[in-house]
Chains A and B, each alone.
Chain A
């Protein structure tokens, strides 16, 4: 089986991740219940005629994927695999509220077209004229991981050479109200650095698009190796540490051999227990990072975790603001990521230096 490399990344997030020059140099702190992504200059990436109908989720994805392609020195790829928990949510809301408000009259097609989950993958294909394999996964917090797993399988079996994968989700006004009503979003603003100790229900929500070129060919731009990945639809809290050990053992690793553990804590007092359980048991002596307090929670937020891991492996340094404990590794060769959302759709991802 062939190795699978992350050859490039492209990102639009609520942090400085779009430009290489200031990539995560200064970490922006927020004090809100939702964190929108920073808008790059879309016109630099998307022709106006194409951009006029694009939802924010599509625009963020096109920018992220064009950057990733450019950095991998590619015009196109063999396949495009997208993960999105909710798709272009703003347009879905727009179409649904128009149906209700106008009693099904005078509806226009554009928001409906954008509401279909695969519109992102379809429009990237249109933009880069890629007629290859094109899948979209929409499985909550395992949407991005499903895309990663699919790509990894194809590359290992040499069914493709270069695959563009990504995770994207967007914020939308009504869904924010709904998620506040059921306490999935916190009631009051919390400063980024205090999110983990907020001791309240719900998370700070965010949005963003992180795309990656995966390949079974190493090149100068290669950033990391995707060593392994496993997803679980359910996992009781008492099994998390055991599953993590099994996952590492399958890769001939012991928890003590991990240089960094990147966790998906989002400050939800009800569900951070899953992460804390790992952090305080098998991995208590491993350097630990979190990122969701600074980019918000969304179904594909874990794609930012992979972006962070990739960056740590490449630069051998990590943003201090994201560190959760006081341990500092002397080098970063192997990084484990663990993610779940509200106790469902768990994933372990193992990245290695290449």
Chain B
């Protein structure tokens, strides 16, 4: 029998809330976080919509009580806020009491500062503190410092939009293998001009609210967010008599090996990822009660993912929805954001609606859940797919066995 890994805490900051409670409230009241860009000066501001976090960098700095000479990127600020909430939620007061690691995911890292000061760096020494903060691992090192994780296993994963799902997967495997007793897993990505323009060149940004799985979908909205889960070994859970929120039961990662950015027509990689996750969990497709889909609202993803879901689940497709209409696509953080939502779904026995859906896709007949639905849930599957063919699936469960 496959044993799940206990989740004992979670933290999140996204366009729909600065903590877990605010996010849940927004999800059940259908309060979306998509607006025009306000914090980044871009010529595309009237062509795109985004999921921004309300706090300014100054406000985040104050919340974290950082000295003004700090060199935090926005990715590090957001990550620190969410990771600290997760640790607090897990009731951890002494981080060194157990062998604790951190696996964080990011795709932009410190790019927000680099793009501000790229040329200025060479002349203005006051900006140079950010140069060493550019690389993706820097935000992770800072989050570890904020949590007090020292002399331990700390690493960063960057597999585009599947990154945080992969961080959860690695964390669960490290606990299973006995390498760590406790691990904080998740991801953080801030909005940047670099990503806005990158996705713009791929022509997959919608000029209005994103509409996952809708026949007339026009592309995605970028979002910024951070979210972390605390995973703990059974021994720690037992010794500390910890309440367990849910379990990481299955995980699968596969590569589509089809194209640098696009998913294959039939979702080969996505199918493999879901099948592997079911196998690790020792589940049959019928054991899945709800799928939180990747559902970015690009023409390519939703078609490929929908076909993969049909391949895996056949005629018995569980309720599914994408929550990206709320938050936008939060890239490397998405897998962790949606992991928090999966746990919230399990805890509250609700399926969050796939907002903005109006027209059935022509290519198949499966339809996402479009309004909040109460249903007793035992298991939730969460998909995250990314560039480079990277496909990941995590299965969360109420039960360990």
Contact = CB atoms under 8 A, between A and B. Distances in A.
| Touching chains A and B, CB distance < 8 Å | yes
A119 B42 contact: no
A109 B118 contact: no
B156 A137 contact: yes
A270 B102 CA distance: 27
B158 A136 contact: yes
B299 interface: no
A233 B141 contact: yes
B89 interface: no
Nearest to B105: A138
A197 to B, nearest CB: 25
B151 A109 contact: no
A212 to B, nearest CB: 18
Contacts of B149: 233
Interface in B14-48: 42-44
Interface string A139-161: 11011001001100100110000
B122 A131 contact: no
B122 A181 contact: yes
A178 B131 contact: yes
* Most chain B CB neighbours (cut-off 10 Å) among A96, A116, A177, A243: A116
B138 interface: yes
B207 to A, nearest CB: 16
A177 B137 contact: no
Interface residues of B, number: 67
A117 B43 contact: no
A133 B251 CA distance: 11
B197 A107 contact: yes
Nearest to B129: A182
Interface in B244-292: 253-261, 268-269, 272
A108 interface: yes
B227 to A, nearest CB: 19
B389 A126 contact: yes
Contacts of A103: 43
B322 interface: no
Given A132-B254, A157-B177, A118 B158 contact: yes
A118 B132 CA distance: 21
Interface in B141-157: 141, 144-145, 149-157
A189 B155 CA distance: 33
Contacts of B114: 96
Contacts of A218: none
B115 A138 contact: no
Contacts of A115: 194, 198
Nearest to B387: A116
Contacts of B253: 133-135
A134 B169 CA distance: 12
Residue with the highest number of chain B CB atoms closer than 10 Å, among A174, A243, A342: A174
Contacts of A125: 255, 257, 388-389
A206 interface: no
Contact of A178 (B122, B138, B272): B122
B260 A143 contact: no
A239 interface: yes
Contacts of B128: 178, 181-182
A147 B37 CA distance: 37
A104 B197 contact: yes
A139 B156 contact: yes
Interface in B381-398: 386-390
Interface string A105-130: 10111001101111101110110011
Contacts of B155: 137, 139, 142, 146, 231
B44 A104 contact: yes
Contacts of B194: 95-96, 99, 115
Contacts of B242: none
Contact of A233 (B118, B144, B197): B144
A285 to B, nearest CB: 27
Interface string A18-31: 00000000000000
A99 B115 contact: yes
A177 B158 contact: no
A131 B141 contact: no
Contacts of A233: 102, 141, 144, 149-154
Contacts of A69: none
A122 B387 contact: yes
B373 interface: no
A232 interface: yes
A105 B44 CA distance: 10
A344 B174 CA distance: 22
A100 B116 CA distance: 9
Given A134-B159, A134-B388, A174-B118, A153 B177 contact: yes
B160 interface: yes
Interface in B170-226: 170, 173-174, 177, 179, 193-194, 197-198, 200-202
A234 interface: yes
A131 B135 contact: no
Nearest to B280: A159
Contact of B135 (A132, A140, A150, A153): A140
B193 A99 contact: yes
B388 A153 contact: no
Given A113-B260, A133-B255, 12 more contacts: A85-B135, A85-B137, A105-B43, A107-B201, A108-B201, A122-B255, A130-B257, A138-B106, A143-B137, A157-B177, A182-B131, A232-B152
17 contacts: A85-B137, A96-B111, A96-B194, A99-B194, A104-B43, A104-B200, A107-B201, A112-B197, A116-B158, A116-B160, A118-B158, A123-B388, A136-B158, A138-B156, A140-B138, A146-B156, A233-B150
Interface of A: 80, 85-87, 95-97, 99-100, 103-105, 107-109, 112-113, 115-119, 121-123, 125-126, 129-140, 142-143, 146, 149-150, 153, 156-157, 174, 177-179, 181-182, 184, 231-235, 239, 243, 299, 342, 344-345
7 residue pairs, one from A and one from B, having the closest CB atoms: A122-B388, A233-B154, A112-B198, A117-B158, A139-B137, A109-B201, A138-B136
